[in-house]
Amino acid sequence: MADAGADRVAPVRAATSNESTRNDGFRQAMLKAALDTTPQLTDENFSVWKDKISGLLELRGVLEALESPNLPLTQDENAELKLLLISKMDAVTHNNVINADNRNSAKEIWKSIKERFASAQSSNRARIFNDFLYLNFKEDAVDSFITDVRVSIKKLIDVGIDLPQDILAYLVLFKFPNSLQLLKRQIMHSDKELNVEFVCNHLTQFNNESRAETRDAGQSEAALFSGKNDKFNKSIRGSKGGGIQKSSRCTEGSHNPRQDSNHTSDSCWHLHPEKAPDWWRENQDKWKRDKDKNQVNYYMSLVTLWINHGDAKSKIILDSGASAHIFNDVKFFSRLDISDNDVIKTGKADATLPIKGTGEVILGWQGRILRLQNCLYVPDIVINLISPGCLDEKGCTVAAGSGRFVVKKGEHSVLCGTINSGQDELNQFECKSCVLAKITKQSFNNTSTTASKPFEKIHLDLIGPIDPSSINGHRYILTIVDNYSGYLAGFPLATKDETGGTLINLLENENRRLGYFPTWVCSDGGGEFVGRSLISFLDSKNVRRMVSEPYHPEHNGRAERANRSIVESMRATFDSSRIKKKFWPELLKSCCLMLNQVPKKGENDSPWEKMHGKKLPNGYVRPIGTPAVVMNSRRVKGRKFHVKGEEGQLVGFNPALLSYRILLPTGAIINSKHVKFLKKDDGLLRMSSSDDISEVLKVVQEEERVTQSEARFKNNSQKNLLTNHLFLKLKLLGDYEIAQQ
């Protein structure tokens, strides 16, 4: 029995230890599920990637050997692990991790990955700590903040930074905004042990309560209004009056057990104020003093929103001190007689405002039409006034009380509103004429979410039709911008119908290079982007589409800005290089290459580096239009005394081969690495088409006709100058004909 037991003791590692389990269906299913759910390694997801890939390798039975320097891997295991690790990293990570020294060893690749993402070097530790230190708290993304905190702390531990839990908790608390100071104090003065999990749990509970309150408040009209004013937003969130919100927190003299499972009635400061610290009691006293004031401010802000519609000069006040109805904009008037009349006196001593006309104002209020006669047009007044005295003359009565007023005529209510700070403001006033005349485009202040890796989110647009068309009949440019890197590319198209096929080929090529399709494709609603074949392809690859609304180019601003950059760059390049515009597809590629070498503001890496993981060699990029001499590989053998090169101009690049595209005088474009660039042009005119020859012939004939008229010249020196000029052009023409032969 002892011998049998000894036989069952497994060695430290046996190459055939997994042979008996490889055919296990459940194990194979688990391996496949783990492999499918393991993401590609990027600079942002190392912690998640490490946990999943480690579990996968442990299930496979090779994790211990992979991490141990003493246990070797078999040849098959090394090949499997090498393929697994390389396939589970994106292009940027691949270029930074894989090199000639480790590309054939799974252990070396694993070691390089840990050195890059979990290295204990000071530079890497500083990078990870800075990522945690500069986390931003957003009140509308609390769940995301909590997740970022936990991931960042896990990264700190991976690189050997194991700070005490209370220190980490304080660092998280100090990221809270001013609106959460009370919550921060409650957490810091709690009798529980302070750690990050305690802070995150309280923050999660606070976020859940805020969501519940938002859903309750959504049933009231007041919840429809929100603005950029912090005080207004806080007053809406903090108001307890008017039935606008129903808080689930403890209140004065009342304990709510739903607030926190750890919060008992014995420790509730609202039930036992004597147990509360001094700062809490001071805040409660201050809150009670300001409670009524906050409610008034909230209601005032709400009424102002109803009245103003964003324009302060549109507010209308019922002013008992006004002797006439006064308006500051001609849009209020249905009839206006412009004339320089008298002036009105203001409350300031000796201050007056000129009256520029009188007329009739028609207002709409709650389905009623109000006609105000003899209204004054005073453009310089900052607010519009309705006079109760004038209303009284028309048989109207004004009744006020409890902070409200009503204007009646007989049994019908003409106007009503609120009294705030001694001013009667009209409620729910709307001037349709003003809205029709003054409506403007809304601002687009919100920013889109930035992608987390190259080619995850792309933006598309189309430029064209372009005049002139290219030598191959191209008339459009398909613009593609990568959201993550800012990398842009342009593809010449003959017709719009080629858009779908070109885009599908691009997506398939990038999938083979990167290993994934984009998650989002953003474009406008043009027919070229909503074709049946393209939509079917995107749906089959689980690519989501974001289509901007008509006449809203701001929704696809990245592509629109790229269009402008490309067109302006090509326009400047054509002007400086003097290249014929029919070669614009060549300049399109070159200009995109140049634009991709410029880093975005605040970044060090260019879009080209982010997309390809490396820089172009120094000195490779040169100005378009630079004169060059390229080796003539088509010259006839045996002509030993003929020149070996041809003159031309640089029009493009081939980064994959680090070669150049040279435009010859004949109009042909050749690829070659055997190029010598000249410092400057020799000044001779180079003809590249029959159109140029015909133009020169016309000029020569015209100037010959001019030379026959002696009356056009003042002296013989001018004759000689023109003769020499004509001789030079004829000589150039002859040189071109010889070159053609």
Q: Please write down the HEC assignment for all residues of 345-369.
A: ECCCCCCEEECCEEEEEEEEECCEE
pLDDT in tens, 93-107: 888 888 888 888 888
**DSSP character at residue 384:** E
Write the CA distances from 5 to 18, 126, 345, integer angstroms: 20, 52, 111
Report which of residues 15 and 76 the model is more confident about: 76
Query: Which region among 293-302, 323-332, 452-461, 463-472 has the lowest average model confidence (pLDDT)?
Result: 293-302
Residue 738's SS3 state is helix
Q: Where are the domains of the chain?
A: 21-117, 309-438, 457-612, 627-677, 690-740
CA atoms within 13 A on the CB side of 600: 13
Separation between Cα atoms, residue 737 and residue 696, nearest integer Å: 13
pLDDT in tens, 686-720: 444 444 445 545 544 555 554 454 444 444 444 44
- By the 8 A CB rule, do 328 and 381 touch? yes
Q: Is the pLDDT of residue 578 over 70?
A: yes
Query: Which region among 54-68, 264-278, 379-393, 721-735 has the lowest average model confidence (pLDDT)?
Result: 721-735
Question: What's the confidence (pLDDT) of residue 188?
Answer: 79
Give 361's strand partners: 333, 372
Among 523, 489, 527, 526, CA closest to 506: 489
Domain 627-677: CATH architecture, name and number where available: Roll (2.30)
- Do 457-612 and 627-677 come out as alike in CATH topology? no
Query: In 578-689, where does DSSP find H-type helix?
Result: 584-595, 607-612
Separation between Cα atoms, residue 457 and residue 472, nearest integer Å: 31
| CATH class of residue range 309-438 | mainly beta
Question: What's the confidence (pLDDT) of residue 16?
Answer: 46
Compute the average pLDDT of residues 425-449: 60
Separation between Cα atoms, residue 321 and residue 576, nearest integer Å: 69
Separation between Cα atoms, residue 288 and residue 282, nearest integer Å: 10
Compute the average pLDDT of residues 723-732: 46
pLDDT in tens, 510-534: 888 888 899 888 888 777 787 888 8
Residue 482 CB contacts under 8 Å (≥ 6 apart), including other chains: 451, 454, 455, 457, 458, 488, 607, 611
Q: Is the pLDDT of residue 365 over 50?
A: yes
Residue 672's SS3 state is strand
R_g of the chain computed on alpha carbons: 39
Residue 413's SS3 state is strand
CATH of 457-612, one of 3.30.420.10, 2.60.40.420, 1.50.10.20, 3.40.50.920: 3.30.420.10
Q: Is the pLDDT of residue 537 over 50?
A: yes
pLDDT confidence tier of residue 259, bands split at 50, 70 and 90: low
Q: Please write down the HEC assignment for all residues of 517-541.
A: CCCEEEECCCHHHCCHHHHHHHHHC
Compute the average pLDDT of residues 245-270: 69
Q: Is the pLDDT of residue 445 over 70?
A: no
Give the count of beta carbons closer than 10 Å to the beta carbon of residue 456: 19
Give the count of beta carbons closer than 10 Å to the beta carbon of residue 376: 24
pLDDT confidence tier of residue 674, bands split at 50, 70 and 90: confident
Question: What's the confidence (pLDDT) of residue 432?
Answer: 60
Q: Is the pLDDT of residue 654 over 80?
A: yes
- By the 8 A CB rule, do 161 and 128 touch? yes
Give 408's strand partners: 397, 413
Query: In 278-383, where does DSSP find H-type helix?
Result: 278-308
Question: What's the confidence (pLDDT) of residue 492?
Answer: 92
Compute the average pLDDT of residues 30-39: 79
Take residue 378 and report the two structure tokens written for it: 């005073």
Residue 370 CB contacts under 8 Å (≥ 6 apart), including other chains: 362, 363, 364, 414, 415
Compute the average pLDDT of residues 115-122: 73
pLDDT confidence tier of residue 476, bands split at 50, 70 and 90: very high
Residue 501's SS3 state is helix
Residue 550's SS3 state is coil
Q: Where does residue 607 rank: exposed (0-12), middle (13-18), buried (19+ CB within 10 A)?
A: buried
Take residue 718 and report the two structure tokens written for it: 């001018």
Q: Is the pLDDT of residue 579 over 80?
A: yes
Give the count of beta carbons closer than 10 Å to the beta carbon of residue 169: 21
- Output the DSSP codes for 96-124: HH--TTTTT-HHHHHHHHHHHHS--SHHH
- By the 8 A CB rule, do 349 and 401 touch? no
